[in-house]
Amino acid sequence: MYWEGEKECINREALKQLQLERLQSTVLRVYMNVPFYRKKFDELRIDPDAFRSLGDLSKLPFTSKDDLRMSYPYGMFAVPLREVVRVQASSGTTGMPTAVGYTRNDIKNWSNLSARILVAGGVTQNDIVQIAFDYGLFTGALGLHYGAERVGASVIPISGVNTRRQVKIMQDFKTTALMCTPSYALSIAGTIMEMGINVNSLSLKYGLFGAEPWSESMRHELQEKLKIVATDNYGLSEVMSPGVAGECSERNGLHINEDHFLVEVVDPETLEPLPEGKTGELVITTLTKEAFPVIRFRTRDLTSLITEPCSCGRTFVRMNKVMGRTDDMIKIRGITVFPSQIESVLFEIEGIEPHYQIILERKAAVDEMTVLVEVSESIFFDQVRKQKDFIEKIKARLASEIGISVEVKPVEKQTIERSGGKAKRVVDNRTL
């Protein structure tokens, strides 16, 4: 299924020409209207009228989240405030937040791009969509809301209420599509079991998940426990969230809406472009944003690109599932570890609940990692010897996967904090 079939299946040569025209327009717009970019371009002696090919993109400077923070709140806006109909912001959990703005046309594009992703994930006008992302300055909930209404689906804007209430609404309103973080979807699945509800009695068919990295093992777990087709979607507040990319029914990479976003994958240290298939940092240039265009924005998300055609018929380049963030990489004893690697191991071991947390500490100048894992009651209260054997099994599997030894601590169910937002997978208590 397509929402905008002609655009989503556009000829690649026609797409490149469209991208070039839109890039030229965007470069001129930011030079004329955004002091940050005008200063950068002048310093690098970049003539915004001199762009003749997409290859000229490499001449442009990168934009970082710190650049956006330094211009907070309105310094990066490319239109007068009277043309801005919506202001939102990132969470600012790691520092000063970043503010983003939308014109009426931006909202229209956002709605259509979100609709593309929802339709690719199976949603139609006959569906009842339950949005369990938090509404507010965070852009994710409203983006999905716009997209669902654009498709014609019925929307339940429930936000992040308590989980039992989520389940009750699913029962009463006969929800067919759930939208939230994958970690929160697992919490919902656990609550369904605790309430003694047969999941087959629910009307759920689809789960559209995003806002945090998640493994294929977690997808399998979600599909089994909720009896749904689970798809991944990608966006970020500074660019568009959601709306950048989403999986189709093939679930073999996320189709990037390339008519609106120009993407690169670069080495996060050298910033040099990487060949297809190599994992690096995703960099995005917006092509149609009016209020808040960004040039070569460093997302910090690690992924790779797929250019081979998809059997669904869409011609857009795909990105693999985000495996983590450059600032979420765990550097320990000379080894780089991603939470997704640990997750993929844990989800394969029977008796472990789908909730975990990684604790990093420094003892006697040596970094140590402890993985907290929720286990079933039978294991938690098992004989010491059996529990020890179980822990050793987990430790061996993890050491084989990530290349270093770690400690494993079993904890009771519901011990690790639950949230309707992003899961806090890593707690770094190390001090220099």
Q: From the CA atom positions of the chain, what is the Rg in Å?
A: 22
Using the 3D structure, point to which of 305, 327, 349 is the last residue of a domain: 327
* CATH code for the domain in which residue 134 is found: 3.40.50.12780
Contact (Cβ atoms closer than 8 angstroms) between residue 184 and residue 132:
yes
pLDDT mean over 28-33: 98
Using the 3D structure, point to which of 272, 307, 327 is the last residue of a domain: 327
* CATH code for the domain in which residue 344 is found: 3.30.300.30
Q: Residue 364, Cα to own-chain centre: how many angstroms?
A: 37
Q: Is residue 48 over pLDDT 60?
A: yes
* E strand or H helix that includes residue 305: strand 305-306
pLDDT mean over 376-396: 84
pLDDT at 418: 65
Strand partners, 261: 286
**Better pLDDT: 183 or 202:** 202
CA–CA dist 273, 40 (Å, integer) = 21
Q: Is residue 432 over pLDDT 60?
A: no
Residue 378's CB is within 10 A of a number of other CB atoms, namely: 9
Q: List the Cα angle 51/56/58 in 5-degree steps.
A: 145
CA–CA dist 102, 79 (Å, integer) = 9
Shared domain check, 225 and 206: yes
CA–CA dist 208, 319 (Å, integer) = 17
Q: Is residue 431 over pLDDT 90?
A: no
pLDDT at 270: 95
Shared domain check, 294 and 379: no
Shared domain check, 389 and 286: no
pLDDT at 420: 57
Number of domains the chain contains:
2
Say if strands 330-332 and 206-209 run parallel, antiparallel, or are unpaired: unpaired
Sign of the C-alpha dihedral computed for residues 158, 162, 165 and 170 taken in this order: positive
pLDDT mean over 129-150: 94
pLDDT at 86: 96
pLDDT at 378: 78
Residue 56's CB is within 10 A of a number of other CB atoms, namely: 15
pLDDT at 376: 83
**Better pLDDT: 190 or 376:** 190
Using the 3D structure, point to which of 294, 327, 360 is the last residue of a domain: 327
**For the segment 327-366, what is each residue's pLDDT rounded down to a tens digit?**
777 878 878 888 888 888 898 888 887 788 999 998 877 8
pLDDT at 92: 52
Q: List the Cα angle 167/165/123 in 5-degree steps.
A: 50
* E strand or H helix that includes residue 86: strand 86-89
Residue 123's domain comprises 1-327
Ranges of H-type helices in 175-326 = 182-194, 216-226
* Lookup result for tokens 């009426």: 104
Shared domain check, 346 and 319: no
**For the segment 88-107, what is each residue's pLDDT rounded down to a tens digit?**
987 654 557 889 999 999 99
Shared domain check, 211 and 160: yes
Shared domain check, 376 and 290: no
Strand order in the sheet with 297-303: 261-266, 280-286, 297-303, 324-325
**For the segment 148-198, what is each residue's pLDDT rounded down to a tens digit?**
999 999 999 999 889 999 999 999 999 999 999 998 999 999 999 999 999
Q: What are phi and psi of 200, to 5 degrees?
A: -70, -15
Contact (Cβ atoms closer than 8 angstroms) between residue 183 and residue 356:
no
Shared domain check, 158 and 49: yes
Shared domain check, 369 and 257: no
Cis ω before 97 (30° cut-off from 0): no
Q: Is 413 helix (H, G, I), strand (E, B) or coil?
A: coil
Sign of the C-alpha dihedral computed for residues 268, 273, 278 and 282 taken in this order: positive
Q: Is residue 419 over pLDDT 70?
A: no
Shared domain check, 242 and 167: yes
Find which of 285-299, 321-335, 337-351, 365-379 is predicted with most confidence, using mean pLDDT. Answer: 285-299
Strand partners, 206: 177, 229
Shared domain check, 280 and 404: no
Shared domain check, 203 and 171: yes
Shared domain check, 259 and 176: yes
Q: Which two tokens stand for residue 85?
A: 């109909």
